[in-house]
Chains A and B, each alone.
Chain A
Amino acid sequence: MTPASDDGREPTAAPDVFAADESVGRDLRLVDWSATPLGPPAGWPQSLRTAVSILLSSRFSMWMAWGPQLTFFCNDAYRRDTLGQKYPWALGRPAGEVWAEIWDDIGPRINSVLSVGESTWDEALLLFLKRSGYPEETYHTFSYSPLRDDDGRVVGMLCVVSEDTERIIGERRMATLRDLGSDPSVVRTEEEILAFAGDQLGRNPQDLPFTVTYLFGDDERAHLAGTTGISPQHPAVPATLTVGDPAGVWPTAAPARGESVLVNLDGAPFTGLPAGGWPQPPTRALVVPLPRQGGTPYGFLVAALNRYRPLDEGYRGFVELVAGHVAAGIASARSYQAQQRRAEELAELDRAKTAFFSNISHEFRTPLTLIMGPVEELRRRLTDADERTREELEAIGRNGLRLSNLVNSLLDFVRIEADRMQARYEPVDLAAVTAELASVFRSAFDRAGLAFEVDCPSLDKPVYLDRGMWEKVILNLLSNALKFTFDGSVRVSVRPDDAHAVVTVEDTGVGVPAEEVSRLFERFHRVESARSRSNEGSGIGLALVKELVDLHGGTITARSTEGEGTAFTICLPFGAAHLPAESPAWATGSAAVSTTADPYLQEALRWLPADDAGAPVTDPAEGTRSPSASPVRVLIADDNTDMREYLSRLLTDAGYRVQAVNDGQAALESALAAAPDLVISDVMMPRLDGLSLVGALRADPRTASVPVLLLSARAGQEASIEGLRAGADDYLVKPFSAAELLARVRTKVELARLRGHHARWRTALLESLQEAFFVCDETGAVIEINAAFTEILGYGVDGLPYRPVFPWWPDPAIDPEAHRQAADAFAAMLDRRQGTYTVPATHRDGHRLWISVNGNQAQDPDTGRRVVVGTFRDVTAEHYFIQRESALAALSTRLSRASSQTDALIGALAELKDLWRARRVLAALFSQGDEPTLTSTDLSLSWHDLPAQHRHALGDLRHRPPLTPITDHTGAGIVLDHPDGPLTLWIELGDLRPFTSEDELLLALLAGHLAQGLARAHQIDQQRETAIALQRAILGPSRLPDGFAVRYEPATRPLEVGGDWYDIVDLPDGRIGIVVGDCVGHGLKSATVMGQLRSACRALLLQDSKPAQTLMALDHFAAQLPHAIHTTVFCGVLDPATGHLTYSSAGHPPGILAHPDGGHHLLEGGRSLPLAVRPGRIRPEAEHTIPARGTLLLYTDGLVERRKRPLDVGIDQAGEVVQEGRGLSLDELATRIMTRMAPAGGYDDDVALLLYRHPAPLRMAFPAESSQLAPVRQALRTWLAQCRLPVLTQQSVLIAAGEACANAIEHGHRDTPGDTVRLHAEVLVDDLWLTVADTGSWKTPQPRPDSNRGHGTDLMRAMMQRVTITSSPEGTTVDMHTRIADDHPA
C-alpha cells in the first residue's frame, strides 16, 4: 500500500494544518483526504485542526482518531517508536484497519472513551503488534482521552503512549536469572540442582516456552537430564543422543565444541510442540552449551524461543546466562560430591577414634575382671588359710570392687560428656523398682542400728527409666545416707505429684551447713566438716546422680539442716514425651537388681563394724583396730642421754622400733629421710629446739602429718599452748610416768595409723583417678601430684615441689599468648576460691596439650594452712573439636559475608592466619600455566616477591591429591579445587610451632569448606554480573552524548536491582537534559517505579525543557504512582555550547562542580522537597555556567552516605576525588570515583553517577576532500575557544590538526577520495589530546630536495608536544598531545 496520492494531485490541505512537523506533515499532505469521511483539510473544523497541530508538535509519542471511521493520525515519535512498517500507509485510514490485529484489545477501550467521554489508562498492556512483519510481543502504557468537535461532542480520541517492551521483558528475564541464583542451600546433588533450575525455568514460559537439558556422559552420548514445559515422552525429547550423530533430533557436535546452534522447529519430530506461555508453539530453538571451566561443556540446553520476539543480542545473552547458571549449579554439585566423599573419609577416621576410646574403656574393665575373678576363686579355696592371708585377699577384693566402681562412674561421666550415654528407657513401676533397690541396703542399715523405712506404694502410671542408671542414683543416695547417719532413721518414699513421680531419700544424719547445700552436686566437692563413717569418697557420687537424673529429664534437689538431717528429692516426669525421640526402641522386661548394687553394698558394709564387734561405732577416730604386725617407728630426740636411753628401752619393750638422736636438727634430717610414725622430742635442745623442729616438720609435706609429742620440764598452761600452737600433737610435762607416756604414745600412733590409713586410701583414690590431681601451697608451689598428673604432663613426683613459673607452661619465647593464658588462669585460681579454666600446656616431651583445670581453695587439716587443691583433665581432643567447630563456623560466616570470590578468599586466609597465628598465609591459583594469581594475608605481596622455595612449594602442591595436607618445618600446605583451577594454600607458621595431626585434620576440613565457599562465591560473581548487565539494560540510554560518563553500581548485598537512575536526553533545541534520581527502596518494585519515573521525566523534558516545570509535572505523576513518593531527583538542562546549566533539585544531594584551577563548589540552588510530598507547590530553579575544563558530578546518596558520618563529609570527599582526577579522561575518572568512594565491604546502597566535562570532546567525521578543510577548521576553532585555551595554543593546535587532516586527504586517499577521515579532540584540565584517523596508508614522506623547507609532519611536531603516527593496513592514526600552558586565555 502506498499513500493515496497516486493520482498525482497537488496536496489539498491548507499548509498550516500540518506545518508543525515537516516529515509527517509532508506525508499527511499526500493523503487523499477527500476519500475519507473528514474531507479536504480546508474544510476541517477548528477543533480538528487544533488537535492535529498539537499532535504533530508534540515530541511525546501520540496518535489520534477522528470522525465516524476513526480516521488515523500520528506524530513523528509514534511513527518511530510504534508504527514501524505501517507508516505512512496508516495515515488517513480507519483506526480499526490500522490496528486490526489488536482491535479486540483496544476497540472496547476506544468505544468507552467515545461513548462515556472519560479517559482510559492502561499500564504496560501486552499487545501483539505487526509492525515488523510478524506479531510482536510489545507492552505499552497509554491513555486514551476524548477529542471534542467545535460543538463539544466527542468525535475522536487521542492516545498518548510510551512503550515499555524493553523494560517489561528485561525485568522478566532478570527475575528468572535472579530466581535461578536464589537457591538458598549451599550444597545439593546434581539432580536437585537440575530440578531446582527446572522449577525456575518453568516459571518463565514466555521467554522459554520449553527447555530440554542434556548432559554428556562417558559413553559418547548425551543423556536427557531435565525438561520444562514439554513432556519427556514427546518425540522431540529422546532419552539419549549420540554425540556427533547428524541425524539426531538435536545437534550435539556443536555444543560439545562449545558453540550455540539455532534450530528451526519444523516437520517431524517437531510437530505438536507445546506453546509455553503463547497461543502458538515456538518455531525456533537455541541449543546452547552448558560451559565447564577449562573443559568440554557438561552438556547443552535446548531453549525453545518466543516466536513473538526477535532473537536479538539481549535474548541470546539471556539464554546463554541461563545455561551458565545451570552449568555453575552442576559444577557446584559435582564439586560437592567430591567434597562429600572426602568428608566421609574423615568421618570414618572419627568413627575409628571413637572405637579406640571405647576399646580403652573395655581394656580397663577387662583386667579388673581378671583380678576380681581369681580373687574370688582364691577366697573360696583359701578358707583355711591363716587370718593374715584371708584379710589381704579381702582387701584385694574390696579394693578391686571399689576401683571398678570408680572406673565405671568415671566412664559414665566421660560418656555423658561425650553425649554417648546410650540410655535404654523402659516403662517401669518406679515404686517397685525403687523398693527393690532399697531392700538391698536393708541389712547394712540394720547392722548400723538405723531404722530403715521404705514407703513405696505402687503408682498408677509408668515412668520411663534406664534401669542401670536408676540403680546408680538410688544406691549412691542410700550409701550417702548410711555414711552420714549415726542414729535415727533413713526413709525412702515414692509419691505421685501431677505430671511427676517424686522420690525422696531422707536421713536424720549430720546434715550439711546451709552454705554448702548448693555445692553438694558439684564434682569433687566434699563437705569437709561433715562427720562421717568414712572419709573415703571421690566426691563424684552426687555429681553423677545429678547427671543421671538430668538424662531422665528429671530434677534433683537437696534440703539439709546441720545436725538434723538431709533429704534428697527427685522429680521424674511420667510418660516419654520429654525423652529424646531417637532413643533406642523401648526395652521391655525387667531384670532383677543387677550386680551394680554389689560394690555399693560391699563398700558401705566396710564402714560398719563386723557382725561380731558388738557395740556400734560412734566415731571412726575411736574405732580402734589391733595394731598391725608392721612395727611402729618412733623417733626420739633428746639431748639428755639418760632420758634418751630410758625412752628407748621403754618403747622398745612395748614393741616399737626406736631411733634416737640427740638434737632437733638430727631429728629433722632423719625424719625427712624416712618419715617415722611418731616423733617424741624434748623442747630444750641444742641446734634446733623442739618447737622449731615441730615447725620444720610441719613445713615439709613429707612430714607434715607425722605426730609429734613434746616433752618439757616447763609446766603450766602457757607452755603447753605454745607447744600446741607450734603444731605439736601432744604435750607431756616431766616428770611423767611410764604408763602415761605409753598411753599417750599408743593414742597418737593409733590416731596417726588411722590417719595414715586414710592417707593411703586417699593416695590410692587419687592414683586411680583419671583426672590429674595436685595440691599447691600458699606460695603457689605444687607439692603433691598423682599418677594421672605425670601421665598427662610428663612431670613426676621426683621433681616436687614445682614452683611457678612451671615447666609445663608454654614457652613465653615461642608462644607468649599461650604462656599468658596459663599464667593468668593459675593466678586467678590462687586468688579466687574456685573455678574452672581451660588452658594450654606443654608436655615434658614438648607436645602441646589443653587441660581443663578445676581448682578449690582448702585448708590443710594437718597444718591448717591454706592450700589449693586442683584436678585437671586432658581436654586436648575436646579443645580441638571445639576449635574445629568454631573455626568452621567462623569460616562459614566469612564466606557467607563475602560478596565476591576475591573477598571470600581474602577473608578465609585471614581466618586461617588467626587460627594458627601464622606469620602469613599464601594462596596461589593456577588457572593457566605456571604463573598463578597470588592472594596473601600480606596484601602487598606479589608472586615474584616470594622466595623461590615458596614458589616451588606452592607449585608442587597442585600435583598432590586435593584436601590432603602436607607439612614441613616451615608450615603446612594443601591443595583444593577452585572453579578456575587448582588453588594451593601455604600456611607459614612461626618458628618451632608444631603442626599436629589435629591441625592437619582441621586444615583439610577448612580447605574443603573453603572450596565449596569459593565455588558458591564464583556463582555469586556470575549472578552479579548478570544483574548489573540487566539493570543497565533497564537504565539510561545506551549511547551517551560526548562529554558524559555514567556508572551504575547495585548494592553489594543483597544482590538487588535498585531504584537509582540516571538519564541523558537530547532535547530538540540542541540542549541536553540531565537527570539523576533515587527511588526509595530496592528490588524489582522500586526498579519498576524507577522505570516509570524515568520515562515520565524524559517525556516531560522533551515537551518542556524547563527543569522546575518538569519536576512539578513529575510531582503530580509521582503522586499517582504507588511507592513513588519521596523519590529525589536532580533535573538539569545543559547547553553544551556554553556550559550553561539550568537546574532544579527535588531533595537530591547537590551536584559537585570541580573548577579547572582546583577547588570545587556545590550546586546548592534550586532546591526543594522530594517528589510528590507537596504536589502543586512551585519549585525553584537555579542556573550556573560550567567553566571550560570544569567537571560536573551528579550522584545518588549511596555514593556519599555512610553510617555515623555527616553527609557533607562524604560530599567533600567526592569533591576531592573529582579534583584529584582532573588529569584523567572522563571514563577513567568515573571508575576512580566509584573505586575510591566505595566502603570496605562494597556499596551497601545502589549508586548512580553521572559526569560531564565541559566542553564535550569534539568528534567529527568528514569525507577526504580538501574542501572540507575550512569547515573542519572552523568547528575546531569554535571548540578550542570553548576550551578557553591561550590563543597561541589554539593556533598551534589548529595548524597541527590542519596538517594531519591535509595529510589524510592528500596521502591517505589518493586512490579512494571521499573516504571518511575522523577527528577527535578532548580536553582535560591541563592536557589536550587530538586524534586524526583515516582508512588509507601514508607514504613515508620523500625527502624533498630542499629539505630545509617545512612540511606537514615537521610542522605537527613543532606545534604539539608529542606526535605519534601509527600506520597499518586498516589506516593511519595521528595522535597528538599538548600541555595547556597557564598563560592568558584569549
Chain B
Amino acid sequence: MTTPLDLTPGRRPDGTALLTVAGEIDMSNTAALADAVTAALRGTAGLLVLDLTAVDYLDSAGLAVLFDHAERIEVITGPLLAPVLTISGLTGLVTVHNTEPKKPHTT
C-alpha cells in the first residue's frame, strides 16, 4: 500500500506542461511521482511546471525525484514546503514560485 497521491497532468494557459500534485510525498509513492514526471516530460520539449501547492509533506525521497529532473522543471509551492526546498538546496537549481497557502493544514 502506498500513500495516496493525486497526480494531474495538464497545460498552463501559456501551453507549458503542468503536473499538479496533491497529498503527501514519501518514499512509498516517489516511484509514482517519478513516473508521472517522466511521462509529462516526454510530452513536452520545454519546461515542466510542478504545482506542489496542495502537497502537505515532501521528504528526501521526493526531493530526489525533483533533483533528478532539476534542469527541466519549475516548482510552485506554498509556505509549508518552502523551507524544505530552500534547505535542501533545490531553490539553487530550480526556479521556485511561492504562493499563498491554499488551505490551512491544521486546525
Residues of A within 8 A of B (CB): 1266-1267, 1269-1270, 1273, 1277, 1281, 1287-1288, 1290-1292, 1294-1295, 1298-1299, 1302, 1305-1306, 1346, 1348-1352, 1354-1355, 1358-1359, 1386
Q: Cα distance A356–B48 when bound, in Å?
A: 116
- Closest chain A residue to B64, Cβ basis: A1349
Given the complex, which residues of A lie within 8 Å of B63, measured CB to CB? 1349-1351, 1355
Q: What size tier do the contact residues of chain B reach?
A: 20 to 34
Point out the residue from B2, B59, B92, B107 that lies within 8 Å of A1299, measured CB to CB: B59
Given the complex, which residues of B lie within 8 Å of A1281, measured CB to CB? 106-107
8 Å CB interface, B58-75 against A: 58-61, 63-64, 67
B66 CB → nearest A CB, Å:
9
Given the complex, which residues of B lie within 8 Å of A1269, measured CB to CB? 3, 26-28
Q: Cα distance A1270–B3 when bound, in Å?
A: 6
A991 CB → nearest B CB, Å:
70
B46 within 8 A of A: no
Q: Cα distance A1355–B62 when bound, in Å?
A: 12
Q: Cα distance A1305–B107 when bound, in Å?
A: 30
Q: A1298-B57, A1305-B27, A1346-B67 are in contact. List 11 more A-B contacts (CB 8 A).
A: A1266-B2, A1269-B3, A1269-B27, A1269-B28, A1270-B26, A1306-B27, A1351-B63, A1355-B59, A1355-B60, A1358-B87, A1386-B105
Pairwise interchain contact B60-A1352, C-beta atoms closer than 8 A: yes
Pairwise interchain contact A1350-B60, C-beta atoms closer than 8 A: yes
A673 CB → nearest B CB, Å:
114
B80 CB → nearest A CB, Å:
6
Pairwise interchain contact B28-A1266, C-beta atoms closer than 8 A: yes
Assuming the A-B contacts A1287-B105, A1348-B92, A1350-B60, are A1298 and B87 also in contact, with contact meaning beta carbons closer than 8 angstroms in the complex? no
8 Å CB interface, B68-107 against A: 80, 83-84, 87-90, 92, 104-107
B51 within 8 A of A: no
Given the complex, which residues of B lie within 8 Å of A1302, measured CB to CB? 26-27, 59-61
Pairwise interchain contact B28-A1348, C-beta atoms closer than 8 A: no
Assuming the A-B contacts A1281-B106, A1350-B60, are A1288 and B83 also in contact, with contact meaning beta carbons closer than 8 angstroms in the complex? yes
* Number of residue pairs A-B, CB distance < 8 angstroms: 85
Q: Cα distance A1348–B93 when bound, in Å?
A: 10
B45 within 8 A of A: no
Pairwise interchain contact A1295-B57, C-beta atoms closer than 8 A: yes
Given the complex, which residues of A lie within 8 Å of B64, measured CB to CB? 1349, 1351
- Closest chain A residue to B5, Cβ basis: A1270
Q: Cα distance A1290–B106 when bound, in Å?
A: 10
Q: Cα distance A1302–B104 when bound, in Å?
A: 26
8 Å CB interface, B1-38 against A: 1-4, 24, 26-28
Pairwise interchain contact B28-A1267, C-beta atoms closer than 8 A: yes
Assuming the A-B contacts A1299-B59, A1349-B63, are A1355 and B26 also in contact, with contact meaning beta carbons closer than 8 angstroms in the complex? no
Given the complex, which residues of B lie within 8 Å of A1295, measured CB to CB? 57-59, 84
Point out the residue from A1266, A1349, A1355 that lies within 8 Å of B84, measured CB to CB: A1355
* 10 A-B pairs closest in CB distance: A1350-B88, A1266-B28, A1270-B3, A1267-B1, A1358-B87, A1349-B67, A1352-B60, A1269-B26, A1386-B106, A1298-B59
6 contacts between A and B (CB under 8 A): A1267-B3, A1295-B57, A1352-B60, A1354-B87, A1355-B60, A1355-B87
Given the complex, which residues of B lie within 8 Å of A1287, measured CB to CB? 80, 105-106
Given the complex, which residues of A lie within 8 Å of B90, measured CB to CB? 1349-1350
Given the complex, which residues of B lie within 8 Å of A1305, measured CB to CB? 27
- Closest chain B residue to A1290, Cβ basis: B106
Given the complex, which residues of B lie within 8 Å of A1267, measured CB to CB? 1-3, 28
Q: Cα distance A279–B52 when bound, in Å?
A: 78
Pairwise interchain contact B67-A1294, C-beta atoms closer than 8 A: no
B74 CB → nearest A CB, Å:
17
Given the complex, which residues of A lie within 8 Å of B26, measured CB to CB? 1266, 1269-1270, 1273, 1298, 1302
Pairwise interchain contact A1355-B88, C-beta atoms closer than 8 A: yes
Q: Cα distance A964–B35 when bound, in Å?
A: 90
A1296 CB → nearest B CB, Å:
10
| Most B Cβ at <10 Å: residue of A1295, A1299, A1305 | A1295
A666 CB → nearest B CB, Å:
119
Pairwise interchain contact A1350-B28, C-beta atoms closer than 8 A: no
Q: Cα distance A1348–B27 when bound, in Å?
A: 20
B93 CB → nearest A CB, Å:
8
Given the complex, which residues of A lie within 8 Å of B83, measured CB to CB? 1288, 1291-1292
Q: Cα distance A1354–B67 when bound, in Å?
A: 15
Given the complex, which residues of A lie within 8 Å of B1, measured CB to CB? 1267
Point out the residue from A1273, A1306, A1351, A1386 that lies within 8 Å of B24, measured CB to CB: A1273
Q: Cα distance A1299–B89 when bound, in Å?
A: 17
- Closest chain B residue to A1274, Cβ basis: B24
Point out the residue from A1294, A1346, A1349 that lies within 8 Å of B57, measured CB to CB: A1294
Q: Cα distance A1113–B26 when bound, in Å?
A: 53
A1361 CB → nearest B CB, Å:
14
- Closest chain A residue to B59, Cβ basis: A1298
B54 CB → nearest A CB, Å:
15
Point out the residue from B2, B4, B89, B107 that lies within 8 Å of A1386, measured CB to CB: B107
B21 CB → nearest A CB, Å:
15
Q: Cα distance A1358–B57 when bound, in Å?
A: 16
B103 CB → nearest A CB, Å:
13
Given the complex, which residues of A lie within 8 Å of B92, measured CB to CB? 1348
Q: Cα distance A189–B89 when bound, in Å?
A: 81
Point out the residue from A1266, A1270, A1291, A1298 that lies within 8 Å of B80, measured CB to CB: A1291
A1262 CB → nearest B CB, Å:
13
Given the complex, which residues of B lie within 8 Å of A1306, measured CB to CB? 27
Q: Cα distance A560–B58 when bound, in Å?
A: 118
A799 CB → nearest B CB, Å:
96
A1381 CB → nearest B CB, Å:
14
Pairwise interchain contact B59-A1348, C-beta atoms closer than 8 A: no
- Closest chain B residue to A1352, Cβ basis: B60
Given the complex, which residues of A lie within 8 Å of B2, measured CB to CB? 1266-1267
Given the complex, which residues of A lie within 8 Å of B3, measured CB to CB? 1267, 1269-1270
Q: Cα distance A1355–B59 when bound, in Å?
A: 9
Point out the residue from B28, B88, B105, B106 that lies within 8 Å of A1270, measured CB to CB: B28
Point out the residue from A1266, A1290, A1299 that lies within 8 Å of B60, measured CB to CB: A1299
Given the complex, which residues of B lie within 8 Å of A1288, measured CB to CB? 83
Pairwise interchain contact B89-A1349, C-beta atoms closer than 8 A: yes
Q: Cα distance A470–B83 when bound, in Å?
A: 112
Q: Cα distance A791–B87 when bound, in Å?
A: 97
Q: Cα distance A1355–B26 when bound, in Å?
A: 14
Given the complex, which residues of A lie within 8 Å of B87, measured CB to CB? 1350, 1354-1355, 1358-1359
Given the complex, which residues of A lie within 8 Å of B60, measured CB to CB? 1299, 1302, 1350-1352, 1354-1355
Q: Cα distance A1292–B86 when bound, in Å?
A: 13
Given the complex, which residues of B lie within 8 Å of A1386, measured CB to CB? 104-107
Given the complex, which residues of A lie within 8 Å of B61, measured CB to CB? 1302
Q: Cα distance A1266–B26 when bound, in Å?
A: 8
Given the complex, which residues of A lie within 8 Å of B67, measured CB to CB? 1346, 1349-1350
B86 CB → nearest A CB, Å:
9
- Closest chain A residue to B23, Cβ basis: A1270
Q: Cα distance A607–B57 when bound, in Å?
A: 127
A677 CB → nearest B CB, Å:
122
Q: Cα distance A1359–B104 when bound, in Å?
A: 21
Q: Cα distance A1299–B27 when bound, in Å?
A: 9
| Most A Cβ at <10 Å: residue of B3, B59, B61, B87 | B59
